[in-house]
Structure 1
Amino acid sequence: MSFTSNQGSLAVTDQLGRRVVVPFPPQRIVSLVPSQTELLFDLGLGKQIEGVTKFCIYPPEARYQATVIGGTKNFDFAKIAACRPDLVIGNKEENYQDGIAQLEGRYPVWMSDVADLAGALRMVKQVGLITNTARVADPMADAIAERFGALGPTAAPETAAYFIWRKPYMVAAAGTFIDDLLRRAGFANVFGALGRYPEITPEQLAAAAPRRILLSSEPYPFQEKHLAELRGICPAARVELVDGEMFSWYGSRLLHTAAYLSRLR
């Protein structure tokens, strides 16, 4: 990330390649992404967080000490205005383009774009830079990289399908952060040739015949009662519930992800 600084401001290039000038250090932050909200708190910025989404559940106090400004894809612009932010932090995938465009006209908006672990590590360090917490963010990113490095490759990747939705069935495929973590966990995504989050039919699943079927806890809340449904389609597969936050949250939660993935092997 390139940047230049002047007295009281910092010009940076975000992960979408946009030049953003932010007050430095920012004092009133609105976070539009749950995993990045958790990161900001873990960087010691709790007092500067003025607004979060209704999905920002970590840390638990986030939604009580900050204003809830709606969801990740339906902002309450009046509540954001009342926060008087000098920095808004969002994400390309999790937020909606029209809403971000409207915010850009009024506030400095820094956007992340995370499709793999390398992008997540850059995001952590860049957020540390723009919030004057690099002394915490840089060692955090280094620790995450070290823990993932210790995972090492598996001798023979096991075929898997990762479900994010039901009715219709939807899975994580190529170009997603989840797909990158599946590979690092030792899985070969049977739908890796498809793009991002495709709908699939029971017939497609049966034909793909994954050895493992992983049912995520989010965004669809898969539960024990859904296991039999998938076993009926792929009787030979091992079907199990997995923690969706460990597969899709790309902030400070990654400090714990490598250990979680190693237990799935």
Structure 2
Amino acid sequence: MRVVSLVPSLTEAIAVSAPGALAGVTDWCTHPAGLAGVVRIGGTKNPDTAAIAALRPDLVIANEEENRQPDLDALRAAGLQVLVTEIRTLDQAFAELDRVLAGCGVRSRPDWLDAAEAAWADVTPDGPPVTAVVPVWRRPWMVLGRDTFAGDLLARLGVRNLYAGHAERYPRIPLDELNAARPDLVVLPDEPYRFTRDDGPEAFPGAPAALVDGRHLTWYGPSLAEAPRSLARALRAARR
């Protein structure tokens, strides 16, 4: 089985569950470290489709949010099988991980996936519910809106996203509107934009900042087993 992954978190899941299956990955596939012998085929939004076809993979793994439809169409036109995932909730993540790993020839469910499900099954909010704004970019400011995987994880931890009802999934919000939002806290991940504590006061005066590991907030893979503890710890520190 030869697999090309266009999704960093799914790359990690495949690498640890089907060693040797990966033939190509994106430039953003950073986990696990040392993907020796695996060809880099460009970014998630601009993969080199000709280079992917030249690898002659049995399967290409993609995601409807991470990857662009024209690239997926080009890969299919080259005769490649493309498995496209949709992951907007934790439950979807577990179901799609099962589907991806089965497609990659993994015959038994890996222990890390059982551990991740168990870790999230035990989650209870730490204290009363709080409201939050969750930026994902600045210049312009963009935040989590409706129907996102990260928003679902935070909701399970007792954090209500103030923009969860927005018409867009990742809306651009003017700075004056962010100043007026008055959330209980602001959640600042370190990817895709590497936010720091200094980024909070500009848009969220007076709101405590929870600095979180972006991999634990947005990746669906082995990191899910560590994510509830890591996120809860960051949220708890911000609320003190």
Question: How does the TM-score come out when normalised to structure 1?
Answer: 0.83
- Please name the residue that 1:6 is paired with: none
Q: Which moved more, 1:237-246 or 1:117-126?
A: 237-246
Q: Aligned Cα RMSD in Å?
A: 1.6
Larger radius of gyration: 1
Compute the displacement of 1:201 (Å). 1.3
Change (3 A) 1:36 1:231: same
- Please name the residue that 2:29 is paired with: 56
- Please name the residue that 1:89 is paired with: 61
Aligned to 2:103, which of 103, 106, 130?
Answer: 130
- Please name the residue that 1:113 is paired with: 86
CA shift digits 1:159-213 (9 cap, x unpaired): 1111110000000111111110110121111111112100011221122200111
Aligned to 1:165, which of 122, 131, 137?
Answer: 137
Q: Which moved more, 1:103-112 or 1:141-150?
A: 141-150
1:31 aligned onto 2:1: no
Q: Which moved more, 1:174-183 or 1:142-151?
A: 142-151
- Please name the residue that 1:245 is paired with: 215
Work out the number of aligned pairs and report it: 233
Q: Distance in 2 between matches of 1:28 and 1:40?
A: 11
- Please name the residue that 1:41 is paired with: 15
Compute the displacement of 1:241 (Å). 2.3
Code of the aligned partner of 2:132: A
Is the contact made by 1:165 and 1:219 (CA closer than 8 Å) also made in structure 2?
Answer: yes
Is the contact made by 1:163 and 1:214 (CA closer than 8 Å) also made in structure 2?
Answer: yes
Is the contact made by 1:151 and 1:262 (CA closer than 8 Å) also made in structure 2?
Answer: no
Q: Distance in 2 between matches of 1:92 and 1:189?
A: 23
Code of the aligned partner of 1:237: A
Compute the displacement of 1:155 (Å). 4.6
Structure 1 stretches of 5 or more lacking a match? 1-26
- Please name the residue that 2:119 is paired with: 147
- Please name the residue that 2:181 is paired with: 208
Is the contact made by 2:21 and 2:104 (CA closer than 8 Å) also made in structure 1?
Answer: no
Is the contact made by 1:28 and 1:87 (CA closer than 8 Å) also made in structure 2?
Answer: yes
Is the contact made by 1:29 and 1:51 (CA closer than 8 Å) also made in structure 2?
Answer: yes
- Please name the residue that 1:199 is paired with: 172
Is the contact made by 1:125 and 1:134 (CA closer than 8 Å) also made in structure 2?
Answer: no
Code of the aligned partner of 2:27: K
Q: Distance in 2 between matches of 1:118 and 1:46?
A: 25
- Please name the residue that 2:45 is paired with: 73
Change (3 A) 1:122 1:128: same
Code of the aligned partner of 2:229: A
Compute the displacement of 1:88 (Å). 0.6
- Please name the residue that 2:205 is paired with: 235
Code of the aligned partner of 1:117: L
CA shift digits 1:87-124 (9 cap, x unpaired): 11111000000000111121111111000000000011
Code of the aligned partner of 2:177: Q
Is the contact made by 1:174 and 1:196 (CA closer than 8 Å) also made in structure 2?
Answer: yes
Q: Identity across aligned pairs (percent)?
A: 37
Q: Distance in 2 between matches of 1:257 and 1:68?
A: 27
Code of the aligned partner of 1:37: T
Code of the aligned partner of 2:201: R
Is the contact made by 2:98 and 2:109 (CA closer than 8 Å) also made in structure 1?
Answer: no
Partner SS, residue 120 of structure 2? helix
- Please name the residue that 2:159 is paired with: 187
Is the contact made by 2:142 and 2:170 (CA closer than 8 Å) also made in structure 1?
Answer: yes
